[in-house]
Amino acid sequence: MGRSYKTDAVVLRSIRFSEADRVLHLYTLERGRVNAIAKGVRKTGSRFGARLEPLTRSALILHEGRGELHTVSGADIISSQEQVRADGYALAVGQIGAEAVLKLFAEPEPNPRAYEGLCRFLELLAGPLERAPDPQHDGLGLAFQLKLLALSGYLPHLDSCASCGTAGPLAGFSPSAGGAACAGCMVASGGFRMADGAIAAIEGLLERPLAPVALAPDAAAGALRVVEETYAHHGGFRLRTLQPS
């Protein structure tokens, strides 16, 4: 028989499942990552309609049966994110953030801080943005990913060399040491050089509350490389949404 429960949830991804149904990859406040089937959503006049589009936040009623896939039996919209989906740049930044949550918080375990951060990120995406030349270098998107890394326990160590502890000068970043590195340790550990000011810019993104932010091109490129290499080294994955098309 199973049972029903109510949860606050964000649709991270929506996959066509059959003629009329979709499988939703959800991040929920109460249970963390959950997959659910929404039956009949692809029919015109579906009672769920746009409420279950990617990046939408809703209060859902989910039915838990025997399988891993729960069934959506009710949806009340909290935030439709329609304006985000209508803006190609904002949508692309949102999809990068959603995929980062999907990969970093893959378990059905609640993490209220990650959920709160995701909701704040989506709220900010719907407002005025500091647009970068492309969505991968967006300051808000990079700040969100760095904060997710911190919440996952992969916070890069940035105020001294992560390998030998020297206070500086810091020349680059070492994924294997998990942070900034002096010139010697950077080379010895297979790290990469970073532009002057890029490490300080990343520290700033981690320390300040999440917000749209304009980054210098060098700082944005450095932050992007830090998140990508941290995903690869500590998580063993790359984000599909960060691959050059």
- Sole window of 51-59, 76-84, 176-184, 206-214 interacting with Zn ion (rule: CB under 5 A): 176-184
Q: How far is the CB of 10 from Zn ion (least distance, A)?
A: 40
**Do 51 and 11 touch, CB atoms closer than 8 A?**
no
Angle at 218 (CA atoms; ends 185, 88), nearest 5 degrees: 125
242 Cα distance to chain centroid: 11
Contacting residue, 50, 164, 211, 232, with Zn ion by CB under 5 A: 164
Q: Is residue 193 a contact residue for Zn ion (CB under 5 A)?
A: no
Q: Is residue 174 a contact residue for Zn ion (CB under 5 A)?
A: no
Taking alpha carbons only, the member of 129, 148, 149 closest to residue 140 is 129
- Sole window of 43-51, 82-90, 156-164, 232-240 interacting with Zn ion (rule: CB under 5 A): 156-164
Q: How far is the CB of 221 from Zn ion (least distance, A)?
A: 22
Q: Is residue 171 a contact residue for Zn ion (CB under 5 A)?
A: no
232 to 9, 52, 177, 178, 228: CA distances (angstroms): 27, 31, 13, 12, 6
Widest Cα–Cα separation across the chain: 63
The CA distance from 166 to 29, in Å, is 41
Nearer to Zn ion, 117 or 191 (CB): 191
Q: Is residue 52 a contact residue for Zn ion (CB under 5 A)?
A: no
Site for Zn ion in 206-245 (CB under 5 A): none
Q: How far is the CB of 223 from Zn ion (least distance, A)?
A: 21
Contacting residue, 26, 72, 125, 185, with Zn ion by CB under 5 A: 185
Contacting residue, 163, 174, 230, 241, with Zn ion by CB under 5 A: 163
- Show the tokens assigned to 136: 């991968």
Nearer to Zn ion, 169 or 209 (CB): 169
Write down the H helix ranges in 126-181. Answer: 139-151
User: How many of the other CB atoms lie within 10 Å of CB of 96?
Assistant: 21
Which residues of this chain interact with Zn ion, rule CB under 5 A?
A: 161, 163-164, 182, 185
